[in-house]
Structure 1
Amino acid sequence: MDLVIRDASILQQGELVTVDIGIQGATVAAISRALTVDAPELKAAGCLVVPGMIETHIHLDKTCILDRCRIEEGTVAEAVRETAAAKRSFTIEDVYARGKRTLERCIAQGTMRMRSHVELDPGIGMTGFEAVEALARDYAWAIDLELCVFPQEGLTNYPGTEELLIEGLRRGARAVGAAPYFDSDPRGQIDRIFAIARDFDAEIDMHLDLAESTEGMQVEYVCRKTEEFGWGGRVAVGHVTQMSLLPPDRFAEIATQLANAGVAVTILPATDLHLMGRSHDHAVPRGVVPAEPLRKAGVTCSISTNNVLNPFTPYGDGSLIRMANLYANVCQVSRPADLAGCLDMITVSAARLMRLTDYGIRVGGPADLVGLDARDPAEAIATLAQPLWGIKRGRASFTRSRPQLHPPGLQHRRSCQA
């Protein structure tokens, strides 16, 4: 063995167990309650160990641009407008440098898989794509990063955009996205995205139904197209803030459609809280879709970051634990099983959304592990547990020390004087 992790608390078949994990090369070679082997050791000391966390929906190409944009209205339209103006001056070097800052934050917070949405249109060309492609290559030692190309500013109404999406898929993007609410023909865009995905055998990951009313919802149409194309299990929709405004019976009806069609939902709490409800001066809607009834209906759900330090979301530190905790606060999640479900939505369920077959802590699986400063999944979310260390493909990818308190005393005074 190259490494043994001692006294790790892990989930096995829904139960917490304390085990030793043996690692050989890039693979988990053994899991045992008492592993007898002579090898270097990492003492987990009963901390919760989870497979590397998964960011299913983030935008590395337009991160960290607050110094170039104004936020006065705080609306979706303003965010798109300000970002569109800023991105005209993006360069590959600029996108790479900004994306690197956010990517490194994510890695240090325990993220080991990621899907980054990248805008393609004639105004930006392939600049963002090439920069994020380079980040994926340069940081492959710490994270598996896949690209999802999408048309933020419209498709049917923006000639030349479709050709760029196709170029991105030809160059290795695994997924194609959409933002039909900014297209003059929303369903026309959805139709084209499904056709392109079929032509390239690509995953579909849409920005959908981001609005403050229930008018013009497209989620049911996406479910119908998913069934028509036989793309069940390969389609995800992010935001769907309009669903949060529905009465329970109508919500349950759509939840059943999503489950039957095999359409997953990604919840983006920081962005949706920031953007939604701007037209209200009281009883402001949160705009965050509750995952618990969706999950009970059989819908695959993930929680993700979306944007960091830009007009869509003017904050963020790359922590998926923080996103899951924020979601739990907003949606009043308190039962231990539901809090544990929040951790599941940034690990196992997120892996299912991205159709990752090589995921999880098991013998023969990848040695992609994160140690959390918590005893169990519910505590990890409730206390914003810090990731203490990460192992990617069998080698250390980051470490973080626990804070130390320094109570008054002779020894402390002497150490400071030294």
Structure 2
Amino acid sequence: MSDNTLIIHHARLTNREGLWQITIKNGLFISIQPQSDSIVSGLDAQGGLVIPPFVEPHIHLDTTQTAGQPAWNQSGTLFEGIERWAERKAQLTHADVKERAVKTLKWQIANGIQHVRTHIDVSDPTLIALKAMLEVKQEIAPWVDLQIVAFPQEGILSYPNGEALLEEAVKLGADVIGAIPHFEFTREYGVESLHKIFALAKKYDRLIDVHCDEIDDEQSRFVETVAALAHKESIGKKVTASHTTAMHSYNGAYTSRLFRLLKMSEINFVANPLVNIHLQGRFDTYPKRRGVTRVKEMLEAGINVCFGHDDVFDPWYPLGTANMLQVLHMGLHVCQLMGYQQINQGLDLITYNSAKTLHLQKYGIEEGNPANLVILAAENGFDAVRRQTPVRYSIRHGKVIAETKLAETTIHLSKSESVNFN
């Protein structure tokens, strides 16, 4: 076996029976065949599940690792989080942003993530975070594909020179254009902001990812404008509506009409279960709404939807280790996707569906594709979710970039015995 060739033995694949042998050469998958009896040197998957790398479709790497700085979000609301971040943002330096972002990116790499879309706050005349993250994007490229969203955290029309700052961010190199219509001063501002970003995306040929209706107000319905504009321009596959937590509170009659448009538009959706279940419902007494968008119904309607983190250890979410299986575990619970097949297919919500949202090309375990994959210590998706199994290996372009040694647990009762939760 040459330095440019890697053979993976005894691998399990989703939707395929038995064990498989995967041959990688010059960074590409060149052969995926049933396991042969003759074994040459290579990497033994030991019956582990081989899947494409995890995809993080929504995270804020400029805010990560800042929880409690300068103060904790005591109310647990989105709006106090924005206030706390505004205080911390005043202390930003170029080096500070890079150091924190790279720390979390290393956590992501360790957890098998190789594709990341990060929203970067551009409600800042200096654009300091954006400039730092553009450097990080280049430096981390051998290990992670990083998409940068120009995110107007404090609004486009409601923040001084917000529109000009957004366009400047795009000129500097942002890959995706964001908006936050529900945070604009008025509904009219919100709608106008969406028209502006669609025009900007057309001008610069960019993707769109909107923080949309992240509020418990059932009257927040900007997603219909996003979908209508995407349908009009025939660019739905390049458009994402993130959060849409207000949809949790829409009445059935409106939702039925809305879903027709969503399906026609072909836009993508990102739910962020860990953060949505934490931030939403804060103004309810009882019963408290879950505040997560209608993931189950979207899947049933054939609408592309995926799961993201949103935040890791910052003013909006005080926990997190950048582990996508934790996100999936929470999402399956709160969206009531707990049937066997729903759980077994759940990995799609953090792999293939997310890749579609990011508009990734040549993603997946297929001959001719780049040899990017992770090996989970699991037999199938159900097993991976139930036991929250670690990523044994993360492989990028045929090279191992992360590996985890499996833990061993022994109990000492009348005799000592190992426990592996199988």
Aligned equivalent of 2:343: 339
SS in 1 for 2:108: helix
Aligned to 1:86: 88
Query: Structure 2: how far apart are the matches of 1:384 and 1:252?
Result: 35
Supply the AA of the counterpart residue of 2:168: E
**Counterpart of 1:307?**
311
**Structural mapping, 1:123-138, within 5 Å:** 123=125, 125-138=126-139
3-state SS of paired residue (1:159): coil
Does the CA-based 8 Å contact 1:92-1:128 persist in structure 2?
A: yes
**Aligned-partner Cα distance in 1 for 2:410–2:302:** 49
Relative distance call for 1:119 and 1:4 in structure 2 (3 A) is same
How many angstroms apart in 2 are the aligned matches of 1:5 and 1:171?
41
Q: Distance in 2 between matches of 1:18 and 1:76?
A: 47
Task: Give the drift of 1:120.
Answer: 0.6
**Residue identity opposite 2:6 in structure 1:** L
Task: Tell me, yes or no, if the aligned pair for 1:207 and 1:239 is still in contact at 8 Å.
Answer: yes
Contact 2:271 2:306 in 1 (8 A): yes
Deviations 1:151-181 (A, max 9, x none): 0101112232222322222232211111111
Identify the residue that residue 106 of structure 1 maps to in structure 2: 108
Contact kept? 2:120, 2:129, Cα under 8 Å = yes
Please list the CA deviations of residues 350-396 of structure 1 after superposition, one character each: whole Å capped at 9, or x if unmatched.
Answer: 11111111100011111111011111112222221211110011111
Match of 1:73 in 2: 75
Amino acid at match of 1:8: A
Aligned to 1:26: 27
How many angstroms does 1:103 deviate by?
Answer: 0.9
1:408–1:287 Cα change, 3 Å: closer
The alignment's C-alpha RMSD in Å is 1.9
1:118 alignment partner in structure 2: 120
Contact 1:252 1:293 in 2 (8 A): no
Given that 1:108 and 1:399 are in contact with CA atoms closer than 8 Å, whether structure 2 keeps it comes out as yes
Q: Quick one: distance in 2 between partners of 1:278 and 1:126?
A: 32
User: Do the aligned partners of residues 131 and 36 (structure 1) sit closer, same or farther apart at CA in structure 2, a change above 3 Å counting?
Assistant: farther
Q: Which amino acid aligns with 1:55?
A: E
Distance in 2, Cα, partners of 1:156 & 1:106? 34
Residue aligning to 2:420: none
Q: Look up the equivalent residue of 2:118 and give its one-letter code.
A: S
Q: Which moved more, 1:27-36 or 1:224-233?
A: 27-36
2:350 counterpart SS class: coil
Over the matched positions of the two proteins, sequence identity in percent amounts to 27
Closer, same or farther in 2 for the Cα pair 1:89/1:300, shift >3 Å?
same
Residues of 2 paired with 1:406 and 1:384: CA distance? 19
Is the 1:389–1:399 Cα contact (8 Å) retained in structure 2?
A: yes
Q: 1:363 aligns with which of 348, 360, 367?
A: 367
Report matched runs for 1:130-279 at 5 Å: 130-184=131-185, 185-279=189-283
How far apart, CA to CA, are the structure 2 residues paired with 1:16 and 1:323? 27
Change (3 A) 1:30 1:75: same
Quick check: 1:6 aligned with 2:28?
A: no
Distance of 1:110 and 1:255 partners within structure 2: 33
How many corresponding residue pairs? 407
Counterparts in 2 of 1:159 and 1:48: CA distance versus 1, 3 Å: same
Q: Encode CA deviations 1:182-203: one digit per residue, 9 max, x unaligned.
A: 2121111111111111111111
Structure 1 runs not aligned, ≥5 long: 413-418
Distance 2:155 2:263 in 1: 28
Q: Tell whether the 8 Å contact from 2:58 to 2:270 is kept in structure 1 after alignment.
A: yes
TM-score (norm 2): 0.92
Alignment-derived partner of residue 419 in structure 2: none
- The answer on whether the counterparts of 1:52 and 1:110 sit within 8 Å (CA) in structure 2 is yes
1:416 — aligned with what? none
Q: Distance in 1 between matches of 2:211 and 2:60?
A: 12
Counterpart secondary structure, 1:66? coil
Which aligned segments of 4 or more residues in structure 1 are displaced greater than 6 angstroms? Answer: none
